[in-house]
Amino acid sequence: MNDRGCGKSERPVVGVGAVVFRADQVLLVRRAKPPRQGEWSLPGGSQERGETVFAAAEREVREETGVDIRVLGLVDVIDFIDREGADAAIRFHYTLVDVFAEWIGGDGEPADDALEVTWAPYDRIARFGMWSETERVIALARRLWQNANGS
């Protein structure tokens, strides 16, 4: 997710993340920029004016990883409000819209806001030490993915 509007806007920034499945693997990125810089997360970024959530997810995943996807549906919406300092000033405020998607093409290479990109086996994602909300969203997306594929 890029840092447009982070800490500078009076309004929340809409961020779009994608849980991308390729067989039993999930696409993960190590974030290059705040918030959660250096941590593993979902690929995604800020929605642009005039862009649908699904189009934003497809664009951001392509820009960040070189992977092409097809969005299948909505997973969840999360409020990310990061405060710091004695006065608990808001540093970042994102409304995160997470979708689930299937892989169409591309191996995944870090670009844009990603330090690293990997395809993680679903049963090993816990070892990446992600934010608990990200792990929860991936688990929920997996159930939706399985239902969509009749598994």
Residue 50 is assigned to a structural domain of this protein: yes
Domain interval for residue 90: 13-143
99-135 confidence digits (pLDDT tens):
999 999 999 999 878 999 999 999 999 999 999 999 9
Residue 3 is assigned to a structural domain of this protein: no
What is this structure's pTM?
0.89
Report the number of distinct structural domains present in the chain. Answer: 1
Residue 73 is assigned to a structural domain of this protein: yes
Residue 88 confidence (pLDDT) above 90: no
Residue 151 is assigned to a structural domain of this protein: no
Residue 4 is assigned to a structural domain of this protein: no
The residue ranking higher by pLDDT, 2 or 74, is 74
Residue 2 is assigned to a structural domain of this protein: no
The pLDDT value recorded for residue 8 is 57
Residue 69 is assigned to a structural domain of this protein: yes
- Looking up residue 98, the CATH number of its domain turns out to be 3.90.79.10
Residue 106 is assigned to a structural domain of this protein: yes
DSSP codes joined into one string, the chain: ---TTTTT-SSPEEEEEEEEEETTEEEEEEESSSSSTTSEE--EEEPPTT--HHHHHHHHHHHHHS-EEEEEEEEEEEEEEEEETTTTEEEEEEEEEEEEEEEEE------TTEEEEEEEEGGGGGGG---HHHHHHHHHHHHHHHHHTT-
Contact predicate 26/114, CB 8 Å: no
